[in-house]
Structures are given as C-alpha cells and as structure tokens.
Chain A
Amino acid sequence: MKTRILIALLGIGWLAPGAMALEVGDKMPALGGLLPGASIPGTSGKVVLVDFWASWCGPCKQSFPALNRLHDKYAAKGLVIIGIGVDDKAEDYKKFAGKMGAKFPLIHDAAHKAADKFAPPSMPTSYLIDRKGGIRHIHVGFKGAKTEAEYVAKIEALL
C-alpha cells in the first residue's frame, strides 16, 4: 500500500507543472513587490509594455531602437514601456543600459523575482497589458520591422 501511495505521489510530482508562467488573460502582477527598491512608473489606467531583456541577447539589442520609436509615438497617448534587465551582474546591466539610450524606464531584476513570476519563454519577451491590467499579448523574440509592425497594430488596438 505504502509503495502505491509513493508511486502516486511521484507521479503527481512529475506531472505537476513547474513555475506557472503568466499567460494571456492573466492579471499583471504588481511590479513593486517583484522589484523592491526600483522606481516603477505609474501604470494604473495605462497600456503597459513590459519587456524582458538581457545584455547578452542579440535580438534584445536590436529591439531597443524600435521600443524607443514606440515610446516616442505612443507615450503621450497612454503607453508605458518598462524594460526589465535580467543580467546577473549589475555592471553588465549598467553598461548595456547606458549604451542603448532607452527613453523609457529600465529596471534591473537582479534577483530574478520578476522573471520567475512572468517566466518569459525566451529572450526578449514582452507582455502587452491593457488599461485594466490584463495581459493581452505575449511577444517572444524580436525580428526587426515585422515585430515592430505587430507591436504597433496591437498597441493601437488597445490605446
């Protein structure tokens, strides 16, 4: 009997999913709790694009000019872009952030608390959140103008 219970428990453990990744339709978690000490812009009633990036990720580097253009175009209409860097080393994060010249706020998720919560499937991954705080789109990777056009269409639909 004990053996059967043990087998059942191990089976449940094997089947149970790991960290639950955020999906479309989920509520955006409060960033304040995940990124203690960071100055997070106000997101209440705004369309928010949370972008996870890393200094060692080539497509992330390519995405910054596009994100800057989105910021220029839509910030006044209610878009807030938040770039969350997941580098292990603060110096790598700072060096890369300095080079990119982002016009939107960047936050270092040194402890990976936010990354663990969102569980992005690849780098970069961005989450587009509507004015009510619900995740409406998850975008994985960055493929130049094609991705930028997708962002524009989705952001315009939400603004």
Chain B
Amino acid sequence: MRNPIRILGGILILGAVSCSPHLVRVKPYERGNLAREVMSAELDQLQKAMTEHAYFSREASSGGGGVGGGGCGCN
C-alpha cells in the first residue's frame, strides 16, 4: 500500500504541470482555422440581431453581449 499523501502529491504535480505554458499549442501565427467565418460564435447575423433585440426589449438592457474581433487574435 503506497502512501496516500504521495499519491495525492503526484496528482497535484500532474495538475500543476498541465498548467504549463508549454501546453498552449496554438501560436498567434497558427490561428488561420480559428479565424475562419465558420468558427464565429454567431453565423446568422439576422438571427443574432433578432435575439439581441428580444433580449434587450425584455431585460431593458443592451450591449455587453459579446466581444470584438474574430478568432484570429489580431491586434
């Protein structure tokens, strides 16, 4: 029977190592596929406009529903 503290320590180390910056694989110059239109969160602009209109009419709020730019991370 192995020491459970050691096993727990091992799990924690593995967890910490998985946070390593080495594992961030997609580099800024490899984002071609992420920048494709099909990768955008909202493909149907009309549907998006209607959903937002219904939302702000109902909730009396507007804006803050998204972030600028696409997936390429440019600028």
Q: Is there contact, CB below 8 Å, between B72 and A52?
A: no
Chain A, interface size: which category? Answer: 20 to 34
Q: Is there contact, CB below 8 Å, between A10 and B17?
A: yes
Which A residues are CB-close (under 8 A) to B21?
Answer: 17-18
Q: Which residues of chain B (1-45) have a CB below 8 Å from chain A?
A: 6, 9, 13, 16-17, 19-22, 24, 27-32, 35-36
Q: For the complex, is B75 an interface residue (Cβ under 8 Å from A)?
A: yes
Chain A 100-137: CB-based contact to B (< 8 A → 1; otherwise 0): 00000000000010011001111111000000000000
Q: Is there contact, CB below 8 Å, between B6 and A123?
A: no
Chain B 32-75: CB-based contact to A (< 8 A → 1; otherwise 0): 10011000000000000000000000000000000000101111
Which A residues are CB-close (under 8 A) to B32?
Answer: 54-56, 87-89, 92
Given contacts A10-B13, A123-B73, contact A54 B6 (CB under 8 A): no
Q: From A7, A13, A58, A89, give the contact of B74 (CB < 8 A).
A: A58
**Majority secondary structure, B binding face:** loop
Q: Is there contact, CB below 8 Å, between B17 and A123?
A: no
Q: Is there contact, CB below 8 Å, between B72 and A57?
A: yes
Q: Is there contact, CB below 8 Å, between B72 and A56?
A: yes
Q: Is there contact, CB below 8 Å, between B74 and A59?
A: yes
Q: From A55, A59, A89, A115, give the contact of B27 (CB < 8 A).
A: A115
Q: Is there contact, CB below 8 Å, between A60 and B28?
A: no
Q: Is there contact, CB below 8 Å, between B74 and A14?
A: no
Q: From A3, A14, A120, give the contact of B28 (CB < 8 A).
A: A120
> Shortest distance in angstroms between B36's beta carbon and chain A's nearest beta carbon?
7
What would 25 A/B residue contacts be, using CB atoms closer than 8 Å? A7-B9, A7-B13, A13-B22, A17-B21, A18-B21, A18-B22, A18-B24, A54-B29, A54-B31, A54-B35, A54-B72, A55-B32, A57-B72, A57-B74, A59-B74, A112-B27, A115-B29, A116-B27, A120-B28, A122-B73, A122-B74, A123-B29, A125-B28, A141-B75, A143-B75
